[in-house]
Structure 1
Amino acid sequence: MNEKTYRFHFYQNKKIYFGISIVLLVVGILASVIIGPHLDIQFAGGSMILYSVEGGQADASGVEAAVSESTGRNCEVAISQDITTGGEQVTVSFSGNQAMTPEEQAAVTSALQSAYPDLGFELLSSSSVEASMGARFFQKCLVCFAITAVFLLVYIALRFRKIGGLAAGITAVIALMHDVLIAFCVFVVCGLDIDDIFIAVILTILGYSLNATIVVYDRVRENRRKMGPRVSYDEVMNLSMNQTLSRTVLTSLCTFLSLVVVLIVAMIYNIDTVVSFALPMMAGVAAGCFSSQFIAPNLFCMWQIHKRKQMDAAKQKA
């Protein structure tokens, strides 16, 4: 093939791309182990009370001190802004398996009103989750991820069976796990709670990254049919990845910039839930762009080249 047909030699530089991913994953996993993930009460169990605040601004540390003194239990306090009313919302969370009784909720409200007499604390909602129930819910989420990965593997294997479907499916799933680990590390390092937002982020990344990988495999299948079986797999792969590079980068860049805008707005209005979604999604989009363009196709190409060598060696022996 003419060297001018494509600009970048992706397959020849595969060790660089693999090295970048390995370094990022090792650093992220080590940081996650040191810091430790923080499970939300949805998974770890506990209680949560949500208040609306009118007449001024509350202080998170002051609220925490007042509640801890009145209940004798450690708590976490998050303050956000309700963009519909412009007022503040205070979330008081208690970890553990002990549910909040109505008397304890009343004591918390009374403590807040005493600590902030000029502010109006109004109870909006309260919820409690048993630790065993949260653990079962988390286990079910992990099982759902595993089942999803199996279905994706089968789907890709069937769709690309003419070019090595099993290899395409396994390498695509490896790339997905790469993106999920990156997003998980961002959650832990940034101190974000592992909750239902984490599940939403992971599912979104799975769909987004898989779509980009399938685009590359589609082009490989088309070029393989046009160029014939005599052309080496690395040449077909290099051409295919160069043809899809601009599409993958531009699509990911547009999504990334949109998430940047969402993150900025969420930080301005102090919307913690949106920040918890946008920030790891930005990392997931970047990781998905990298894995679908540089990791999965190169792994797939390595698999096919190794398979071809084994077939040639078997023919020579025969």
Structure 2
Amino acid sequence: MNYIQNRKIFFSISLILIAICFAAMGINYVGGRGLLNYDIEFSGGSILHLDLMTDFNVETEIMPLVIEYLGDDSAVIQLVPDTHQIMITTKTTDATMRTEFVKQVQKELNLTGNIILAEDSVSPTISTELQANAMYAIVLGSILMLIYIWVRFKDFKFGAAAVVALVHDVLIMLFVYAVFRVPINNSFIAAILTIIGYSINDTIIVFDRIRENRRVIGGSDEEVINKSISQTLTRSINTSITTLIMVALLNICGTASVREFAFPLVIGVISGTYSSIFIASPVWFEMRKIAKRMRKKATT
């Protein structure tokens, strides 16, 4: 397969997905749901741990009260196994609203006494700090990888192309979070950094083969890149398939919190493999073309 000849097709596929990502974020924002579905760790909110002491139905008895008295139709209600306890994660920070909600739950289920086992709040100040730390981690990680690849390959263009591929993977992950409204929480930071590490490892394998083939077999950049990708393709696909099997099992068999981490990883592994094969090397090829054109102009 001539990867370089078809590079515009690969670039177009990625640009379409990224455009859909920003469109989805815009639609969500205009609809009043926020650019992304921030969990309470990022937007602020509270967690209520209640012991209802009797049988109940979450969908017909509890969730309608959450929507009416807490004003949060995206609240997460988790059942504590083998008990009558529930954990309610809501974006509501108003203590008065929470108190009224608890009173209505007691009234609905004919409960008396204190049913609140624990009540924790996450302030907007803490959530702002988490958002900043997430951005710092992603930006700092990308810069350090750029420096490492630049030093290792003695060519800034390799590092720059790898960073472009990483930015591509981050945007594809944002596409998943924006379109499927996956909650943005601490798992988001872990998922993004995991995929960045996974993707850069695969990209370096391809770049290593390109560097080796340039020295051993020579030829044009297009021939070297096509041959190098073909030689590493089986390894890349086999590695991705084995990783996907385990992550997919986590997504199928895991709890809700595990699925929030595993589902983006499934997409991230696919995106990381795609960018390593179809984005990073073609971007390096384009940078080489631009550099040659600039040198030619400088000498004439």
Query: Would you call these one fold, judging by a TM-score over 0.5?
Result: yes
Compared CA separation, residues 205 and 112, structure 1 to 2 (3 A):
same
Match of 1:178 among 152, 168, 171: 168
The answer as to 2:287 corresponding to 1:297 is: no
Distance 2:2 2:66 in 1: 61
Partner of residue 5, structure 1: none
1:311 CA drift (Å): 3.2
Cα distance change on mapping 1:65 and 1:259 into 2, 3 Å: same
Q: 1:46 to 1:238 in 2, by over 3 A?
A: same
Aligned to 2:32: none
Instruction: Report deviation, 1:109.
Output: 4.7
Shift of 1:81: 5.6
Contact kept, 8 Å, 1:44 with 1:131, in 2: the verdict is yes
1:251 aligns with 2:247: no
**2:248 pairs with 240, 244, 260, which one?**
260
For 2:53 and 2:248, how far apart are their aligned partners in 1?
30
Are residue 206 (structure 1) and residue 187 (structure 2) matched? no
Residue by residue, what CA displacement relative to the aligned partner does 1:94-136 show, whole Å, maximum 9, x if unpaired? 32554x48x956x655543543469xx9756432111133113
**Secondary structure of the equivalent of 1:191?**
coil
> Hey, what's the Cα distance between the residues in 1 that align with 2:7 and 2:51?
54
CA change 1:304–1:108 in 2 (3 A) is same
Aligned to 2:88: 92
Contact 2:251/2:262, CA 8 A, preserved across alignment = yes
CA shift in 2, pair 1:272/1:116, >3 Å = farther
> Share of identical aligned residues, percent?
31
2:185 corresponding residue in structure 1 = 195
Judging changes above 3 Å, is the alpha-carbon distance between structure 1 residues 300 and 132 closer, same or farther for their aligned structure 2 residues? same
SS in structure 2 opposite 1:246?
Answer: helix
1:86 CA drift (Å): 5.8
Distance 1:34 1:245, change over 3 A: same
Out of 238, 260, 274, the residue aligned to residue 276 of structure 1 is: 260
Give the equivalent residue in structure 2 for 1:242. 230
Aligned partners of 1:77 and 1:90 also within 8 Å: no
Matched, 1:50 2:41: no
TM-score where L is the length of structure 1 = 0.81
Q: Please state if 1:29 is matched with 2:22.
A: yes
Q: Counterpart of 1:74?
A: 71
Query: 1:169 maps to which residue?
Result: 159
Given the superposition, is the C-alpha separation of residues 86 and 221 from structure 1 closer, same or farther in structure 2, using an over 3 Å criterion? farther
CA distance in 2, matches of 1:174, 1:251: 22
Indicate if the aligned counterparts of 2:70 and 2:98 stay in contact, CA closer than 8 A.
no
Q: Describe the SS at the equivalent of 2:49.
A: strand
- Partner SS, residue 289 of structure 1: helix
Which range is displaced more, 294-303 or 128-137? 128-137
1:26 deviates by 1.0
- What SS class does the counterpart of residue 11 from structure 1 fall into? coil
Q: Distance in 2 between matches of 1:123 and 1:219?
A: 61
CA RMSD, aligned part only? Answer: 2.7
Give the drift of 1:73.
Answer: 3.2
Conserved? CA contact 2:49–2:86, under 8 Å: yes
Amino acid at match of 1:77: A
Q: Segments of 4+ in structure 1 off by > 6 A?
A: 52-55
Q: TM-score, normalization: structure 2? A: 0.86
Which segment drifts farther, 32-41 or 89-98?
A: 89-98
Structure 2 vs 1, CA of residues 17 and 68 (structure 1 numbering), >3 Å: closer, same or farther? closer
Q: Which residue of 2 aligns with 1:3?
A: none
Deviation at 1:244, TM superposition (A): 0.9
CA distance in structure 1 between the aligned counterparts of 2:53 and 2:293, rounded to whole angstroms:
72
1:143-175 per-position Cα deviation (integer Å, ceiling 9, x unaligned): 2221111111111111111xx2x1111111111
